[in-house]
Copies of this chain bind each other. A is one copy, B any other.
Amino acid sequence: MEDDSNHLVKPETPTTAMEAEVVVHEEEREPESNSLNQPLLKRNRTLSTSPLALVGATVSHIESLDYEINENDLFKHDWRSRSRVEVLQYIFLKWLLAFLVGLLTGLIATVINLAIENIAGYKLLAIVGFIQEERYLSGLAFFTGVNFLLTLSAAVLCVFFAPTAAGPGIPEIKAYLNGVNTPNMFGATTLLVKIVGSIGAVSAGLDLGKEGPLVHIASCIASLLAQGGPDNYRLKWRWLRYFNNDRDRRDIITCGSSSGVCAAFRAPVGGVLFALEEVATWWRSALLWRTFCSTAVVVVVLRAFIEICNSGKCGLFGTGGLIIFDVSDVKVSYHAMDLIPVIIIGIIGGLLGSLYNHVLHKVLRLYNLINQKGKLHKLLLALGVSLFTSVCQYCLPFLAQCRPCDPSFPETCPTNDRAGNFKQFNCPAGHYNDLATLLLTTNDDAVRNIFSSNTSSEFHHTSILIFFVLYCILGLITFGIAVPSGLFLPIILMGSGYGRLLGMLMGSHTNLDQGLYAVLGAASLMSGSMRMTVSLCVIFLELTNNLLLLPITMIVLLIAKTVGDSFNPSIYEIILELKGLPFLDANPEPWMQNLTVGELVMPSHQ
Choose among B322, B336, B533 the residue that contacts A292 (Cβ–Cβ < 8 A): B533
Question: Is A582 in the interface zone, CB < 8 Å from B?
Answer: no
Cβ A282 vs Cβ B8 within 8 A:
yes
Report the Cα distance A80→B551, complex, angstroms.
39
- Is A289 engaged at the interface, CB distance under 8 Å to the other chain? yes
**Interchain CB contact (< 8 A) of A269 among B296, B303, B550:** B550
Q: Is the CB of A2 within 8 A of B68?
A: no
**Contact size range, A:** 35 or more
Across the interface, A558 reaches (CB within 8 A) one of B90, B283, B293, namely B293
Find the B residue at minimum CB distance from A535. B288
- Render A575-606 as a binary contact track against B, CB cut-off 8 A, 1 for contact: 00000000000100000011000000000000
Residue A299 at the B interface, CB < 8 A?
yes
Using known A-B contacts A1-B91, A80-B594, A554-B296, determine if residue A289 contacts B561 with beta carbons closer than 8 Å: yes
Query: What's the nearest-Cβ distance from chain B to residue A269, in Å?
Result: 6
Q: CB distance B558 to A1 under 8 Å?
A: no
- Counting CB contacts under 8 A, is A22 at the interface? no
Return chain B residues, CB-CB under 8 Å to A286: 2-3, 6, 586
A54 in contact (CB, < 8 A) = no
Check if A6 sits within 8 Å of B335, measured CB to CB: no
Q: How far is the CA of A11 from the CA of B533 in the complex (A)?
A: 33
Closest B residue to A9 by CB, please name it.
Answer: B68
Q: Which of A453-461, A464-472, A541-549 contacts B (4 or more CB under 8 A)?
A: A541-549
In the complex formed, the residue of B with least CB distance to A336 is B304
Per-residue CB contact flags for chain A residues 142-178 toward chain B (1 = under 8 Å, else 0) read 0000000000000000000000000000000000000
Chain A interface, >50% SS class: helix
The verdict on A534 contacting chain B, using a C-beta distance below 8 Å, is: yes
Q: Contacts A282-B6, A555-B296: A288 and B541 contacting too (C-beta < 8 A)?
A: no
Contact call B272/A534, Cβ cutoff below 8 A: yes
B299 touches A551 (CB 8 A): yes
Select which of B6, B288, B323 is within 8 A of A277 by beta carbon.
Answer: B288
Residues of A within 8 A of B (CB): 1-4, 6-9, 67-69, 79-80, 87, 90-91, 268-269, 272-273, 276-277, 282-286, 288-289, 292-293, 295-296, 299-300, 303-304, 307, 321-323, 328, 335-336, 533-534, 537-538, 541-542, 545, 547-548, 550-551, 554-555, 558, 561, 586, 593-594
Q: A1-B90, A277-B288, A293-B558 are in contact. List 14 more A-B contacts (CB 8 A).
A: A1-B79, A6-B284, A8-B282, A79-B593, A80-B593, A268-B550, A268-B551, A268-B554, A273-B273, A276-B276, A288-B533, A289-B561, A299-B551, A300-B555
